[in-house]
């Protein structure tokens, strides 16, 4: 799902727009970091699973895999926090119009208007 929010230019102060764009950029960077951490720690978890299956105890094996899963989960939690902050900023904007579409190329249909 893709969501597009439009705002009238006269309804937004430059400080609000700066903060909104900054929050969006932070959210995008957090998503990139989460994906990179998930890929990296998936490789480490695979190595631990193969190498540690016979040489580690059950507790050490599970603990190692748990640590490999903890970092991407933490990054995902941080990303959700940034997403909530951006959503709060968008909710605070006056006269926003939100469009929701299933695909990036599909025509946009209004989902709702906030006055």
pLDDT of residue 31: 95
Non-local (6+) Cβ contacts of 104 within 8 A are: 2
pLDDT mean over 66-82:
94
Domain residue limits, the chain: 2-114
Predicted TM-score (pTM) of the model is 0.73
Band of residue 115 on the pLDDT scale cut at 50, 70, 90: very low
Arithmetic mean of pLDDT over the chain: 84
Cα–Cα distance measured from residue 67 to residue 47, given in angstroms and rounded to the nearest whole number: 13
Identify which has the larger pLDDT, 103 or 39. Answer: 39
Closest CA to 78 of 38, 43, 26, 115: 26
For residue 11, give the 3-state DSSP assignment.
helix
């Amino acid at each position: 799902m893709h969501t597009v929010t439009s705002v009238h230019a006269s309804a937004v102060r430059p400080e609000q727009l700066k903060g909104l764009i900054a929050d969006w950029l932070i959210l995008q960077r957090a998503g990139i970091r989460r994906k990179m951490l998930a890929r990296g720690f998936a490789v480490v978890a695979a190595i631990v699973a193969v190498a540690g299956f016979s040489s580690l105890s059950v507790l050490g094996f599970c603990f190692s895999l748990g640590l490999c899963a903890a970092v991407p989960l933490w990054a995902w939690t941080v990303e959700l926090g940034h997403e909530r902050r951006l959503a709060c900023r968008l909710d605070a904007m006056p006269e926003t119009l939100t469009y929701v579409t299933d695909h990036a190329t599909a025509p946009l249909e209004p989902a709702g208007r906030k006055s």
